[in-house]
Amino acid sequence: MNKICLSWSGGRDSMMMLHELKKKENVQGLLTTFLKESEKMMMHEVPVSLVSKQAQALGLPLYPVWFEDTLNNKDYENVMMNALGKLRKEQFTHIGFGDLYLEDIRKYREEQMKKTELELLFPLWGKDTRVLSNEFINEGYRAVIVCVDEEQLDPRFLGRVYNEEFLRDLPDSVDPCGENGEFHSFVFDGPLFREPVPYTIDGSYRKWDRFSYVKFI
């Protein structure tokens, strides 16, 4: 039997990947990257404590991968290869990614994964993002927007729940699944959860370069 670990962001696409695979596959872990100094997820800045609660609510072990705050691409790849090697020692056979249509990202993953014995899964690949966004909502999942790229989306969208109103308010230029990095989300409830994940944000946000992030308290 396949033993699958997911490359896990805690957001909407990761959740729909899990939702899809759980119908017929043996998902046994979530792999997430964090920064050591801040103890927050890379890119999304969700605290490891909150991601851990999310994993517990989903009944899956979390496999954190820790990075120094300053690192280059070579260091990143070395740390990731070490983490993937540990997955193989735990008898994982596959790793899943929630990518939808960006060819360059998929090709990068495929090239890097040639160095491992893990097989790749892209269960959402090619799905219409409007259809997928509606499916997420209709299935009963709930997510909060935790990061926006200010060059693509106004920071006033931070902290909003990902629902029909959110989608209606998005500019036409923004992908409803944020596939071009326009925004990132954190899923806190849904049919696969044993219980909702409680969270609190203080209403302000932190800005770094062109990105803005909610502040969890």
Residues 53 and 94 in one domain: yes
Residue 137 falls inside a structural domain: no
Residue 135 falls inside a structural domain: no
Amino acid 71: pLDDT: 76
Q: For the chain, what is the mean pLDDT? A: 96
Residues in the chain where the model's pLDDT stays below 50: none
List CB contacts of 15: < 8 A, sequence separation 6 or more.
136, 141, 143, 187, 190, 192
CATH code, domain with 26: 3.40.50.620
Tokens of 183: 């925004």
Q: What is the pLDDT of residues 47-81, one digit of tens each?
A: 999 999 999 999 999 999 999 987 788 889 999 99
Residue 117 falls inside a structural domain: yes
Domain count, the chain: 2
Residues 8 and 114 in one domain: yes
Residues 115 and 13 in one domain: yes
d(CA 153, CA 53): 29
Residue 22 falls inside a structural domain: yes
Amino acid 73: pLDDT: 84
